[in-house]
Structure 1
Amino acid sequence: MKNKFIDLNGQRFLLRNCGDPDLPPLLMLHGFPEYSGAWQDLAPHLSSHFYCIAPDQRGYGQSWAPEGVGHYALSRLVSDMVTLIERFARPVCVLGHDWGASVAYGLAMFRPDLVDRLIIANGVHPAPFQRAMAAGGAQSEASQYINALRAPDAAERLSADNFAKLEQFFRFGMGTDWLTDQQMQVYRTEWARPGRLETMLNWYRASPLVVAKPGAPRTDLPKLPKDRLMVRCPHLLLWGREDKALLSESTEGLEDYALDLTRIDIPNADHWLHHQQPKAVAQAILGWMAR
């Protein structure tokens, strides 16, 4: 993937790209604790059909990283990508993973004129996810890490001993055979950029979603009006069922918000399916697009 810097809303962002610019654009949005290089395994399998574009999102990598939690509200994150898509003067296909899925859903829900098709890889729509996290059951238990990442001292704890605890978080309960020592060093380099880990964590702090304690359901939830959260374009959900952070129950009822939904499970994969099974993920995407 080639690198270049671009201006979005008057701020500097790093953008990686792969493929022929004359092909249909595919906007690829990474999650935590990754960066745009997270797509280097998958993009080559898609670049014969798409012009793959992958930004370091706000607060990550070499892109703009303002201080303050308020800069990481979903509306701000979506605004960055709206400005990027408008450069193409046409709707684009959007692919989001993990936190990148939240931005991808935001684009599809609030700027449907800019999204031709929506692809989510182990990411969650806010309404079914909030329902599952508030129930006090398995997803609530699996999501307790969110409260830890929201803590004021989280960056200090995770960065100690050359990011030992963040690496442990990255690897915990997941298949990370794809993560070589060399790749791990690249991630440490990205995390070590001044202030970056704090701004990465601000994505969690800015979210209004509530995490219940196991066995203690919550009812004091943010308002999530269904009519504003609809995905009206064709939507593909790719899922690695071995995910320990996002359980399948976090997507139950998604059909109520996405009337043209296709679900495809990726075998032998968990949260990092785009690294573990890039060829299978690409084949699923291309097969769905062809249909």
Structure 2
Amino acid sequence: MYTETVDLNGHPFFLRHWGNPENPPLLLLHGFPEYGGAWSDLAPLLAERFHCIAPDQRGYGQSWAPDDIGAYRGSELVGDMAALIAHLGGGPLTVMGHDWGAAVAYGLAMFHPELVSRLIIANGVHPVPFQRALAEGGAQAEASQYILSLRREGSEDRLAANDFARMKELFLAKMDHGWMTPAKLAEYTAEWSRPGRLKTMIHWYRASPLKVAKPGEPITDLPELPKERLMVRCPHLLLWGLGDTALLPAATEGLEDFAPDLTRISFNGADHWLCHQIPALLARSILEWCDRP
């Protein structure tokens, strides 16, 4: 693994690389509250076939972190990664996203289809099925009430207090955290401790237009979403840890309507953090899918 800082649209972004740069590129996009180093369990297992590139996304780690909430709109985040693909020599290439990284990966596939040859998502969601599930006021809305808490002013201070006690609780709540060794937790804490970073990480939630219903109180005035603009037309693999308590099955219902070339692979004994829990199984599933005709 080697690292570098590159200039994208006039701003610095920190990258981690695994594998031979002569191999086909695989762009790896992390979610909250992780950083590019979160791929260190999976990327080495893919590096014989791919040149894996994992950026710290905007607001995270050692990359550019503007203070303005508006700087974290989806179009800005997708634009960063479109610029990175151009920096890498242009597309199309394979893109993989987890959690919030999935939102950016979907954005690339939907709005810059010329840049994405294959889309791989690990416990992440397309915006339409997810928004529908959030608006119903059912189990997904209940599981996502933490979003409203994060959006509140000063949430970063509450999460950082007492050596990030609440942050650790939020990160690992209700799911298996046997993979989180003391050394790994120290690495995460160091990333969260960078000046202003926890605030800008949370800005992704504050800038999002997603509406979260209160449990039992459905939202009925959602705007009509333009299906044609939100299609994933490239081959799409969805990897799903069935024990996820943050993203529930309802969050992917109807995904086939937006991704006609969709393959779903589910895993027992894994949850939202499947990239850390079962990296060898994920790598084998990814490589077998990439080898299909």
TM-score, normalization: structure 1? Answer: 0.99
The one-character-per-residue Cα deviations of 1:15-57 (angstroms, maximum 9, x if unpaired) are 0000000110000000000000000000011000100000000
Kindly provide the CA deviation profile for residues 174-202 of structure 1, in whole angstroms up to 9, marking residues without a partner as x. 11101011111111110011100000000
Distance between the aligned counterparts of 1:63 and 1:90, measured in 2?
Answer: 22
SS at match of 2:59: coil
Task: Report the equivalent of 1:244.
Answer: 245
What is the percentage of aligned positions where both structures have the same residue? 63
2: CA distance, partners of 1:170 / 1:74: 23
Question: Which SS does the other structure have where 1:15 is aligned?
Answer: strand
How many correspondences in the alignment? 291
Structure 2: tracts of 5 or more residues without a match? none
The one-character-per-residue Cα deviations of 1:65-109 (angstroms, maximum 9, x if unpaired) are 001110000000000000110122331100000000000000000
- Within 5 Å, which residues of 2 pair with 1:159-170? 159-170=160-171
Aligned-residue CA RMSD (Å): 0.7
1:90 maps to what in 2?
A: 91
Moved more, 213-222 or 194-203: 213-222
Q: Which residue of 1 aligns with 2:182?
A: 181
Do the aligned partners of 1:208 and 1:222 also contact (CA within 8 Å) in 2? no
Q: Counterpart of 1:41?
A: 41
Q: Distance in 1 between matches of 2:27 and 2:65?
A: 20
Matches within 5 A, 1:18-57: 18-57=18-57
Asked whether the 8 Å contact 1:266–1:280 carries over to 2, the reply is no
Partner residue in 1 for 2:11: 11
Structure 1 residue 3 displacement after superposition: 1.1
TM-score, normalised with respect to structure 2: 0.98
1:19-168 correspondence to structure 2 within 5 Å: 19-87=19-87, 88-168=89-169
The 3-state SS of whatever aligns with 2:108 is: helix
Partner of 1:274: 275
SS of alignment partner, residue 84 of structure 1? helix
* Structure 1 letter corresponding to 2:138: G
- Structure 1, unaligned stretches of length 5 or more? none
* Residue identity matched to 1:147: L
1:223 positional shift: 4.3
Q: How many Å apart are 1:266 and its aligned residue? A: 2.1
| Alignment-mate amino acid for residue 33 of structure 2 | P
Deviation at 1:173, TM superposition (A): 0.7
